[in-house]
Structures are given as structure tokens and as C-alpha cells.
Amino acid sequence: WASPLPLAAITWYKDNRLLSGSASVTFLNRGQIIDIESAQITDAGVYKCVAINSAGATELFYSLQVHVPPSISGSDNMVAVVVNNLVRLECEARGIPAPSLTWLKDGSPVSSFANGIQVLSGGRILALTSAQISDTGRYTCVAVNAAGEKQRDIDLRVYVAPNIMGEEQNISVLISQAVELLCQSDAIPPPTLSWLKDGRPLLKKPGLSISENGSMLKIEDAQVQDTGRYTCEATNVAGKTEKNYNVNIWVPPNIYGSDELAQLTVIERNLISLLCESSGIPPPNLIWKKKVLSCMLRLNSAIEQIFNLFVDKYLGSPVLADSAGRVRTLSGGRQLQISIAERSDAGLYTCVASNVAGTAKKDYKLQVYVRPTISNGGSHPTEIIVTRGKSISLECEVQGIPQPTVTWMKDGRPLTKGRGMEIMDEGRILQLKNIHVSDTGRYVCVAVNVAGMTDRKYDLSVHTPPSIIGNHETPENISVVEKNSMSLTCEASGIPLPSITWLKDGWPISLGSSVRIL
């Protein structure tokens, strides 16, 4: 303080510049006191008080510092980061003196270089080198200096990209059953789920529903057109993922015309093909089986039912192709071909179509027609000789499938039942009684069925005993004059023509110059 005697003149300087009064600066008590109202940062500096009187001059220095409470810039109250990525939380704090910075997480201090956390640049930056879900929380930047304290909260959210549980799925169901596709995804924040079919947005239709959160797709009464590649897409701010479902709708096999027994016929040694047109998803596997025809065993109806149950279970055996290629399957089993049909090929064939969805079958009854054959038949006729008045039976033992019809002909004309003639046993026997010469001729047995015809020929000759015209009871007396000629006539008939022998007194006649046989 300056001595009051003599009074000094007081002058104030700020930063070596004369300080004058203003709205915020007031001099009190003759300048001995300077009052700064509502000090500002601009008021900081070096103040000098200079006192001068007649005795001399003196001065006093003041260094004025204006402290400013901390302030923190920035408006981002929420920061998001994808898990395992780097994130920086910034705290730009100002104040005089420069504030010291500390960080809190959920109210607890954060230590640098702990759990992957780094505090850099004097606390201005809090860095997480690989953010984890556990790093989620409220981070607080605290700025402190002599003038006060300031806080700023930053909400850190660690996002996790969607991950759909399970690998790509192959799903197969039978037609008309329900299909359920489950899409469960873990993600932060919870993802939005959407469905595609064959790469295109799934269109709504009756029987198709998606749960409220999109996690389940359900198809009621699945049909073939529902087959396809379904995709569940899970999307959030952290990323996007997808899972594919390959849906197959299995359809049990169906064979065209399977509700009817196919009746097939073939002539022996000809070609026959049995066709089996089937459908199904997946395409069915085709095999052929052959059973014994119960009708061949001539069973009665009650036993036949039991027999059929037995053959269905035990006697149906696969049809195997032979090495010679006579029997073979073509077109993946759609065709069973028998190139040279044999009698043993007759039977009940079954085409069995099977896939994962089920089995279907179709039955074929194959009848092999066999051309007629006649026992002891041949290209040469059979010679038969019979005496007039006798009886004879001509046989025609015929075989064939179907049973041939038998017709008898004589000299090219059909025979009908008549005098002394009878056709018996469905034509197997032609019986001739009390045979006459007029019955001589060629008899032909003709056997015919749908497979062909054959015949057997008989050349019938009717023999008659010799007969001589005249009275055989008493000798005929003939007289002749000596030295004259005489002729004795012996008119004989018979079939075949009889040979004539002359006897005299019971002894054969010796021929000579005077005796001749004409």
C-alpha cells in the first residue's frame, strides 16, 4: 500500500497497456482497488499497479488467471460397433486449467490396457481393439479441473451379425403332408427374418403361413409345386446371413391302368412286350415278378384264395434276363420283352414300382398260344385197310393252347354225322361202322386254333371178299364135242381184284398148247 502522505497517483496496466474503466472494470478507493465483474478469459493477464508521488514511484504486479470449468464437446450419445471390430470413444474436453479425464463403465473406473481397453491421448480417446458383447454398456467421460467437473455419457452397443443355427437342410415329405421350416437366429439387435423360394420373395398362398417373428414357415397339404429351394434371410445393422432348405415333395408311385388286370396273349415263338408306364417323385424303381397261374393248377375257388395269398408272399420271384437275350428289360424297366415266347412264359406277371414314398403294382396275365399238334401226325398219310362190313375208329389226338377245334373231312368235303359214322370226344375220334366200299377215301382231321392249324391224313381202303358170278351150290354141267374148243368163264369180283386159279379134280391145271388161261 502507498503511504497516504503525500498522496500518490495510482495507474493500472494490463499486459503493459494502460487499463481504463469499463462496464466490467471498476476502480475503487482512488484506484487502490480494481474490481473486475464477471471475469472472462479475456481478463486473464499481468496486471501492474503504478504509484507515483513527489517522493518517487513504485509498482506492484498481479498475474490474473481466469479458471474455466470443464466442457465436453460432441453430441453422439450412442455409439454402435460390430463385434470383434475396433471402436473409439472420444471425449473432447476443454477448460482452464486443462481438465484431467477419467473414464467409467457402468459407474466403475476403467483401467487402461485392461480387457482390450486402451485410454489414449491423456484420456481423450477410449479405444476397444476388439469389441465384445461384454463391452456393451454406458461409458462416462469425467473431466475435472479447479473450476469444476463435467460428465458425458456414451452408450456403447456391440452388435452381432445374424447367425442361423444349423447347416443347409434337405427336407423330404410325402405329398399332402405338412412341411415346417425352422429358422432360429442369434443376433444383436434381433434380426429381421424374410423367406425366399428359388431366389424370389415368397408369395402368399392358401396353406402357407409364416410365424409372427418369421422364424417358422409352414406349408399345409404340401403339393408337388411346393418343391424348391427355400431361403431364410436374417438381417440386422451388423450384417446379413442366410440358410437354405431344399424341400422335396415325394409322390408315391402310380402305374397307368393298375386297377385292371391286363390280359395279354402271344403265339408261341413270337415276340411280346409288357409295358409298365409309371410316375412318381422321385422316379420309381421298376422290377418285374412272375407268379404261377393258379388257374393252371385247376383249384377250386376256396383253395384258390388261400393259394393266391401264398403266391403273393412266397412264389413271386424276380424276372431275370437270360444270357441269350430272349427275356430282357428295356427303358429302365418300363418294358419287359420276350423275343421268342415259350409255353413256360405263360403266367401272372407283376410290375412293381417303388420309391421312398411307397409302392404300386400292376398285374399282367400272359397266355402263350400254342399251335395245334396231332399225335403221330405227319406229312404222309396213314394207310388203313378195312374189310367191308367191319367197324373202325380214326384217332385225332390233338394238343394246343387254346384247345383246338377239330373238323373231319373226306375227300376235301366236311363230314357230318350220318349213316354209320359218328364223331366223338370233341372230334378226337371218327368212328365208322358197317363199312361200305363207298367209305373208301382220304379222311383228314383238321385241328385249328388262333395260333395255327395242322392236320392228319388217313387213306382208307375198303376191301371186299372175292365173289364169282353163278350158282355156287351145284356144279355146272358143260358138254363139248371131242376135238372142238371150249371156254370156261370165271367172272370174279372183289377189292382188291382177286387172283384166279383153275383146278381140275382138285389139282392145279397144267398149262400147255391146248390149255390157256385168258
Q: Are 361 and 257 in contact (CB under 8 A)?
A: no
Q: List the one residue out of 10, 51, 48 whose CA is nearest residue 29.
A: 10
60 found inside a domain: yes
Residues 414 and 350 in one domain: no
201 found inside a domain: yes
For the CA atoms of 17, 20, 23, 27, what is the dihedral angle to 10 degrees?
120
516 found inside a domain: no
pTM over 0.85: no
Residues 331 and 425 in one domain: no
Could you count the other beta carbons within 10 Å of the beta carbon of residue 79? 16
518 found inside a domain: no
Q: List the one residue out of 488, 491, 475 whose CA is nearest residue 517.
A: 488
Residues forming beta bridges with residue 3, ordered by sequence position: none
501 found inside a domain: no
Cis peptide leading into residue 97 (ω within 30°): yes
Among 130, 160, 190, the domain-final residue is: 160
The CATH number covering residue 187 comes to 2.60.40.10
Q: Please tell me the total count of domains within the chain.
A: 5
Each of the 518 residues of the chain gets a pLDDT tens digit; together they read 444 567 888 899 989 888 888 888 888 888 888 988 888 888 889 999 999 988 889 999 999 899 999 999 877 789 999 999 999 999 999 998 999 999 999 999 887 666 778 888 888 899 999 999 989 999 999 999 999 999 999 999 999 999 998 899 999 999 999 999 999 998 999 999 999 999 999 988 999 999 999 999 999 999 999 999 999 999 999 999 999 999 999 999 999 999 999 999 999 999 999 999 999 999 999 999 998 554 444 445 555 555 455 445 444 678 776 777 899 999 999 999 999 999 999 999 999 999 999 999 999 999 999 999 998 766 677 889 999 989 999 999 999 999 999 999 999 999 877 778 888 888 899 999 999 888 899 999 999 999 999 999 999 999 988 888 877 677 778 888 888 888 888 888 888 888 888 888 888 888 777 788 77
Could you count the other beta carbons within 10 Å of the beta carbon of residue 30? 11
Task: Indicate the DSSP class of residue 305.
Answer: H
Residues 210 and 136 in one domain: no
Residues 153 and 83 in one domain: yes
Q: How far is CA 80 from the centre of its chain?
A: 49
Residues forming beta bridges with residue 354, ordered by sequence position: 285, 359
Among 252, 277, 293, the domain-final residue is: 252
Task: Give the pLDDT score at 298.
Answer: 43
245 found inside a domain: yes
Q: Nearest 5°: phi and psi at 246? A: -90, 105
Task: Indicate the DSSP class of residue 469.
Answer: S
Among 160, 188, 204, the domain-final residue is: 160
Task: Give the pLDDT score at 69.
Answer: 92
Task: Give the pLDDT score at 48.
Answer: 93
489 found inside a domain: no
Residues 186 and 102 in one domain: no
* Adjacency order of strands within the sheet including 9-14: 17-18, 9-14, 45-53, 56-64
Task: Give the pLDDT score at 417.
Answer: 75
Cα angle 267, 271, 277; round to 5: 115
Retrieve residue 27's grid coordinates.
476502480
475 found inside a domain: no
Residues 405 and 450 in one domain: yes
Residues 135 and 78 in one domain: yes
Task: Indicate the DSSP class of residue 98.
Answer: P
Cα angle 148, 150, 152; round to 5: 175
Residues 346 and 261 in one domain: yes
Residues 269 and 359 in one domain: yes
Say which amino acid occupies 395. Answer: E
For residue 70, what are the CA distances in angstroms to 53, 54, 110, 149, 150?
45, 49, 20, 6, 6
Residues 260 and 364 in one domain: yes
Percent of the chain as helix, strand, coil, to the nearest 5? 10, 55, 40
| Domain assignment of residue 331, given as a range | 256-368
Residues 261 and 343 in one domain: yes
Decide the pairing of beta strands 358-374 and 382-387.
unpaired
Residues 323 and 286 in one domain: yes
